[in-house]
Structure 1
């Protein structure tokens, strides 16, 4: 942890126009579900060795070779985000709903005439195009509590006082997205006798703190896939993935003197806005081998995803002071283009198929989050390179590799299907980094059902994902102690319907 804080301290000395980027951004765009159809969701997305489903194009593209007919699929979804926060022993619950399209695609399958049951040679192949939703960023978290230790304004005063202090004539521009705003709204003052160090109008905490963060957007991946079937035994596939990222975050943090203990402070609020857009490319290679009529083995490698990203961000602050009135100030509008590489993945799968009775499938996935890497060298300035080095070092120190496991099953009775599954997503953090149980690991429980006719199918799925995360607005310690963050228990409920037509 000392290493991480040292790196963060270095980062704080870099130009503040770049501080919209953080190690948390790298994690956000590296963690993902494979999304897709209700059939796949209902079986916890454990489709790596099964194939024959459009979701497999983003997992193991060899599954495209399993198809025996062409099809069109469409999956609308309704998602409920429920968050229970705990902050200074105070609990708060938030809910949000989002409607989206989880999957849309076309599969074209060709089986060579007379080769349907061949045990050697090329039996056929397939081509598919469409998209799968890999991650949903729509959410809302909120928490509030009484901080008896310190204020964010004291944190800003310490920033301006650090490294030999700041001349008052430069205070507003030193950090125009944080401490500079506190200076411009008269929340900070120079110390008498030392005008380059600062104190806050709030001393020692004893304030009500509240935070609300509303996020929107998603990571959607356009897929173009090819696969072949050799001897009805070996299936090989390739997917070219083109992910598109859209993410916006509006964070409102406020403090108020609810007990009227600070003679020149009533309240303050800070609103941070971030909009990120990006696109990239990756490749996925996969094989499925049918040992016999009952056992299938699968394997897939996903290359790192190279993303070109663009951030737009700004911050505004308002203050209400008891003696001099109210003030408001807004930062410059920040824009920055950069590159991000997210980690490679490896997936090993096994499925037991029971003919017309169903299947049992297991996927194991390995992902190394330390492989995420920023590149700020489009401009090539010394400050860019220094900040890039510090941030990538933070990723190396803070994160680790993770193991993910997915188990799914399907029971078949005539045209009816019943499915269930369970998935574990491992923590991305290195040992000793996460706060308590807030390690970002997750558990998903799924149920599904469907009707599959010769020319069409309808599938339904429900997935319940539970995880615990930790959120802190700033890190600062005084003689009264360090400020706390909020522990957030997250529950995500996905409801999906897939409509499919074979031709």
Structure 2
């Protein structure tokens, strides 16, 4: 085989194990991004309104604006991850900067003092729901090698299809197995052709039992996971104010998604007599798509001091497509020398699939102390066990949905924020707590976060700065199957946000 005959092969694969519970949570959990003022109160804006990112909590908030305005916000995202694996801890830091919010509102006032409907508003806003830029590295001496991953998929798989046929390129065989037999046999093919595993009887095409060529009591593993991309949301909002006490609003939300995950697992330190002395196994997943949701809300001004808010955010319906590619290399003497031709140019394209994230209910209360400041409290409820992959008629999706309903649970989120004004200067602070979506509270832990911010009002414009921090623990599996010991991850995010608002 010569490199000048390599070309990109693209096939539509059938039922695979590419989509799982991780996909559902990736799009169900939203971070507290938005304007610097919104972040300064940790998102506790459901009963306040008057902020473009507050529309994400309660769409009635647009009717609270007293005048038209435009706001833009930029955020520096600082990730700090501590990953511990078999007693060894590695720290990884990553910085990225994004324009995470931009939008405006147009307010139409009714100057007839006897009219019941006092105000109408139209708002358009872009928010970065999630910035997927992240990275962590972990290493340790494990008693479970990647050979267990390939054995888990190979056991029970007939040997015959795992051979490269006469006149067939190894890339063609890899893609053909994926499209005709599925993800599991395709992984068995990789392990066999790389010489990591072997059949018990190589002369029997009906052989279904496999053994490892890697010998070890413990093996040194290094694992890198790097992600990038975004889940952005464009909101079209309409709001209105009835008399002086009731604001109502509705929003249509349009999402755009790009997500890329790269993983690299390297192994060395096998026994001296092992046929395999090193293995490198890389995976690259790219997801693209869009989504839609709507939201409804009200804010009631009970008196000069107390405001109450309630809102409903519909399920978000995602339409997604995955591209998946792999590469593997080892020094096994029985390996196929052409295995390196399977690389990131050889792409598996999966059929479009859908993710439905559960709806969310929000209840809010705020105390407004005239021009001196405010105190706000938000509570939201979302039942993650109602999330699902679609089409539900797909047997593999039905299996994942069963796992979702049994392993995930309802999530309560609490936010509290306050603002104190000294003439043109505003001092802000907030705290949020979000329960783990997992019933075991171990795979992903509870989230704690706080924020502090400052703003200065120039009259016709306002400048805001906020520092916010959130932290949660979790466990990360190095592979879907075969490697049962996860790396424990402490993930902290420090955000520095600057926002500028112009009043019209």
Q: Same fold (TM over 0.5)?
A: yes
Q: Which residue number corresponds to residue 312 of structure 2?
A: 301
SS in structure 2 at match of 1:328: helix
Q: Name the residue aligned to 2:212.
A: 200
| Residue in structure 2 matched with residue 420 of structure 1 by the alignment | 429
Give the 3 Å change call, closer, same or farther, for CA 406–100 of structure 1 in structure 2: same
SS at match of 1:178: helix
1:239 matched residue in structure 2: 251
State whether residues 33 and 128 of structure 2, in contact with CA within 8 Å, keep that contact through their aligned partners in structure 1. yes
- The question of 1:409 aligning with 2:418 is answered yes
CA distance in 2, matches of 1:68, 1:268: 63
> Residue 381 of structure 1 aligns with which residue?
none
Q: Name the CA distance, whole Å, in 1 between partners of 2:270 and 2:153.
A: 27
2:64 counterpart residue number: 66
Give TM-score scaled by structure 1 length.
Answer: 0.89
| Residue 234 (structure 2) aligns with | 222
2:153–2:187 CA contact under 8 A, matched in 1: no
| Alpha-carbon spacing, 1:268–1:359, altered in 2? closer, same or farther (3 Å) | same
Matches within 5 A, 1:382-461: 385-430=394-439, 432=440, 434-435=441-442, 438-461=443-466
What is the match of residue 213 of structure 1? 225
Pick from 326, 339, 344 the counterpart of residue 354 of structure 2: 339
Counterparts of 1:460 and 1:74 in 2: how far apart (Å)?
12
Pair 1:360-2:354 in alignment: no
Output the aligned Cα RMSD. 2.1
Q: Any gaps of 5 or more consecutive residues in structure 1?
A: 1-14, 378-383
Per-residue CA distance 1:135-170 (angstroms, 9 max, x = gap):
1111001100001x22121331242123xx422443
When residues 262 and 139 of structure 1 are mapped into structure 2, their CA distance, relative to the original with a 3 A threshold, is farther
Q: Is the CA contact (8 Å cut-off) linking 2:215 and 2:276 kept in structure 1?
A: no
Structure 2 portions without partners, runs of 5+: 1-12, 164-173
2:101 matches 1:103: yes
CA distance in 1, matches of 2:334, 2:162: 25
SS at match of 2:37: helix
Query: 2:137 aligned to 139, 142, 165, which one?
Result: 142
**2: CA distance, partners of 1:323 / 1:396:** 44
In 2: Cα distance, 1:458 partner to 1:45 partner: 18
Compared CA separation, residues 422 and 177, structure 1 to 2 (3 A) = farther
Query: Who is 2:492 aligned against?
Result: 491
The one-character-per-residue Cα deviations of 1:162-195 (angstroms, maximum 9, x if unpaired) are: 3xx4224436636365222111111111115874
1:431-473 per-residue CA deviation (whole Å, 9 max, x = no partner) reads: x3x43xx533211110000011321001111110100111112
Counterpart-to-counterpart distance in 2, 1:475 and 1:88: 18
Contact 1:94-1:141 within 8 A present in 2 as well: yes
Please state if 1:123 is matched with 2:118.
yes
Number of aligned pairs?
Answer: 468
Counterpart-to-counterpart distance in 1, 2:479 and 2:245:
56
Match of 1:8 in 2: none
Question: Normalization by structure 2: what TM-score?
Answer: 0.88
Name the CA distance, whole Å, in 2 between partners of 1:80 and 1:330.
35
Equivalent in 161, 168, 171 of residue 155 of structure 2: 161
